[in-house]
C-alpha cells in the first residue's frame, strides 16, 4: 500500500538536533538550529514570560477554540511591533493581521493565499535563504526562483546583481526578503540599499513578502523593522510574517503572525476574510497558550518594557560572542580575515567552511553547524568558545 512512498531524507537543520542529542562527546557544542542559549548553555524562560505564565495559571481558565485569526491582543501585539505603536496604517485599519503557528505557519498561510489569489506569481528567495522558505512555498504549489544575494568570495551582498535581477521580474511576482538578521548569511542591506531595492520593487510592481524572525537581535526593535516601515511609507502592498519563537524564547509554543498591508479598508476586509478562510482549511485556529503569553507581554506596558530589555540582553551577548570568536581566531590564524564574523547581524554567522570542514568539526570535535557552514552564534558561551575556536582553527589550517 505505502511501499511507493519515498523515505524522508530529514531536515538539514532539525535533523542536526537529533544527531547532537545522540552524540556522547562530553565537549559537544550545538551551533546548528537557530535557538538562543544563554551563557550557561541553557534555553532561557524570559522573566516577562514567567510573569505572563503565572497570570495564565492563576486562576486557571478553560481553553476554548480561539478565533481563526487568533487573539485580538496577539494580533495587536504583532502590528505594533512591526509597524510602530502609532502607525497611521493601524489607525486607518489598513492591515489584515492573523496570529499564526509560528513564523512557519505565517509563511504557509501566506504561500497558500498567494497560490490561490495570485496564481501567476512566482516567489523569489535570496540565494541562499532559510531552506524551509523554498519547501513551504513549493509545498503550496508556488513556483520558487532565487535572486542573487551572497557573494562567497567577498563574504558580501551581490547588491547590484540583485537589483538587476529584480528589474527582470514580472508584475505581482513575490520577493521574499529578510528585513534584518538574514538567515543564513547574517548580512543585511543598508538603509540606502533598502531604499533602492524598494524603489525597484515599486517600479516593477512586485510584491514584497518580508519574513522577520529575529526582530530585536540586529540593532533594535524599530531599526530592525526599517525595511517594513519604509515599504509602508512608500505605499507598497506588503506581506509580513513574524515569529516570536526567538525573541520571546517561545519556540515550542508556536507563536507568530502574518500581516498584509492593503491600499483600502475594503481590500483589508477582503484579505482578512480570506486569511481566515485559509487558516480554517489548514489548521482551523492557532494555539491558545502561546497566544495568551504574547497578548499579555505585548500589551502590558511594564512587561513589554521588560521584554525589550531581555531581548537586547540576548542580542548583546551574541554580539560579545562574535567579538570574542573573531579575536581568538585572528590570534590563531593571523593571515586570515575574520571580519565577516562581526559584520554579520543576528544569530547566524556564515563561516564559509567547506562541507568537509563542517563534517570534521562534527565528527572529530562534536561541534554541530549546518552543512552550508551556518553557525548559530547564540550557541557559543565563555565556557565553549575557546574549544570551538581551536577546533575551527584546526580544520581551517589543514
Ligand X SMILES: Cc1[nH+]cc(COP(=O)(O)O)c(/C=N/[C@@H](CC(=O)O)C(=O)O)c1O
**Which entry of 108, 158, 188, 211 is annotated as an active-site residue?**
211
Selected range binding ligand X among 96-104, 194-202, 257-265, 267-275, rule: CB under 6 A = 96-104
Grid coordinates representing 307 are 521584554
Can residue 245 be called a binding residue for ligand X (CB under 6 A)?
yes
Can residue 31 be called a binding residue for ligand X (CB under 6 A)?
no
Residue given cell 483600502 in the structure block: 264
Least spacing, CB of residue 397 vs ligand X, in Å = 28
Can residue 13 be called a binding residue for ligand X (CB under 6 A)?
yes
Closer to ligand X at the Cβ: 94 or 369? 369
Closer to ligand X at the Cβ: 33 or 169? 33
CA nearest neighbour of 95 among 239, 252, 296: 239
| Dist CA 375 CA 364 (whole Å) | 17
Q: Which of 73, 102, 287, 379 binds ligand X (CB under 6 A)?
A: 102
246 is catalytic: yes
CA 192 to mean position of chain CA atoms: 22
130 is catalytic: yes
Cβ neighbours of residue 240 under 8 Å, at least 6 residues apart? 82, 209, 210, 211, 212, 228, 257, 258, 259, 260, 261
**Which entry of 246, 295, 307, 326 is annotated as an active-site residue?**
246
Site string for ligand X, 224-243 (x = CB under 6 A): -------------------x
Least spacing, CB of residue 256 vs ligand X, in Å = 5
Q: Given 3-state DSSP classes, what are the helix, strand and coil percentages for the chain, each rounded to the nearest 5?
A: 45, 15, 40
Phi-psi bin for 157: left (phi > 0), alpha (psi -120 to 50), beta? beta
Least spacing, CB of residue 291 vs ligand X, in Å = 13
173 is catalytic: no
Can residue 287 be called a binding residue for ligand X (CB under 6 A)?
no
DSSP string covering 287-351: -HHHHHHHHHHHHSHHHHHHHHHHHHHHHHHHHHHHHHHHHHHHHH-TTS--THHHHS-TTEEE-
How many residues form the binding site for ligand X (CB under 6 A)? 15
Selected range binding ligand X among 86-94, 100-108, 157-165, 338-346, rule: CB under 6 A = 100-108
Least spacing, CB of residue 165 vs ligand X, in Å = 20
| Dist CA 165 CA 161 (whole Å) | 6
Angle between helices 301-332 and 47-57 (to 10 degrees): 140
Can residue 249 be called a binding residue for ligand X (CB under 6 A)?
no
Q: Rule CB under 6 A: which of 177-216 touch ligand X?
A: 183, 211, 213
Least spacing, CB of residue 130 vs ligand X, in Å = 4
Is residue 28 exposed (0-12), middle (13-18) or buried (19+ Cβ within 10 Å)?
middle
Residue given cell 505572563 in the structure block: 52
* Active site members: 130, 211, 246
Q: Which residues bind ligand X (CB under 6 A)?
A: 13, 33-34, 102-104, 130, 132, 183, 211, 213, 243, 245, 251, 256
Amino acid at each position: 500500500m505505502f511501499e511507493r512512498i519515498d523515505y524522508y531524507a530529514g531536515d538539514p537543520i532539525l535533523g542536526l538536533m537529533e544527531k547532537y542529542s545522540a552524540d556522547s562527546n562530553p565537549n559537544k557544542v550545538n551551533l546548528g538550529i537557530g535557538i538562543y542559549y544563554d551563557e550557561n548553555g541553557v534555553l532561557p524562560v524570559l522573566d516577562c514570560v514567567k510573569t505572563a505564565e503565572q497570570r495564565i495559571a492563576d486562576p486557571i481558565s478553560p481553553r476554548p477554540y480561539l478565533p481563526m485569526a487568533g487573539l485580538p491582543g496577539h494580533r495587536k501585539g504583532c502590528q505594533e511591533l512591526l509597524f510602530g505603536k502609532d502607525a497611521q496604517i493601524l489607525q486607518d485599519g489598513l492591515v489584515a493581521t492573523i496570529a499564526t503557528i509560528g513564523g512557519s505557519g505565517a509563511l504557509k498561510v501566506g504561500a497558500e493565499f498567494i497560490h490561490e489569489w495570485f496564481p501567476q506569481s512566482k516567489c523569489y528567495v535570496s540565494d541562499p535563504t532559510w531552506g524551509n522558505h523554498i519547501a513551504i512555498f513549493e509545498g503550496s504549489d508556488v513556483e520558487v526562483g532565487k535572486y542573487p544575494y551572497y557573494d562567497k568570495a567577498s563574504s558580501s551582498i551581490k547588491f547590484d546583481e540583485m537589483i538587476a535581477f529584480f528589474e527582470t521580474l514580472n508584475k505581482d511576482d513575490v520577493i521574499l526578503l529578510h528585513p534584518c538578521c538574514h538567515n543564513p548569511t547574517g548580512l543585511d542591506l543598508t538603509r540606502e540599499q533598502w531604499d533602492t531595492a524598494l524603489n525597484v520593487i515599486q517600479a516593477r510592481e512586485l510584491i514584497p513578502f518580508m519574513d522577520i524572525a529575529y526582530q530585536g537581535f540586529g540593532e533594535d526593535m524599530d531599526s530592525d523593522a526599517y525595511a517594513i516601515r519604509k515599504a509602508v511609507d512608500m505605499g507598497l502592498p506588503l506581506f509580513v510574517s513574524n515569529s516570536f519563537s526567538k525573541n520571546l524564547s517561545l519556540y515550542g509554543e508556536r507563536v507568530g503572525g502574518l500581516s498584509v498591508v492593503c491600499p483600502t479598508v475594503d481590500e483589508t476586509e477582503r484579505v482578512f476574510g480570506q486569511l481566515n478562510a485559509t487558516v480554517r482549511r489548514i489548521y482551523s485556529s492557532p494555539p491558545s497558550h502561546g497566544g495568551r503569553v504574547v497578548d499579555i507581554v505585548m500589551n502590558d506596558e511594564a512587561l513589554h518594557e521588560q521584554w525589550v530589555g531581555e531581548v537586547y540582553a540576548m542580542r548583546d551577548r551574541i554580539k560579545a560572542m562574535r567579538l570574542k570568536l573573531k579575536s581568538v581566531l585572528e590570534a590563531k590564524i593571523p593571515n586570515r580575515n575574520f571580519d565577516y564574523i562581526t559584520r554579520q547581524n543576528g544569530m547566524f554567522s556564515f563561516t564559509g567552511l567547506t562541507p568537509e570542514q563542517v563534517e570534521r568539526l562534527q565528527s572529530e570535535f562534536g561541534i554541530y553547524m549546518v552543512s552550508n557552514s551556518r553557525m548559530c552564534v547564540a550557541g557559543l558561551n565563555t565556557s565553549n568558545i575557546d574549544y570551538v575556536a581551536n577546533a575551527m582553527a584546526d580544520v581551517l589550517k589543514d
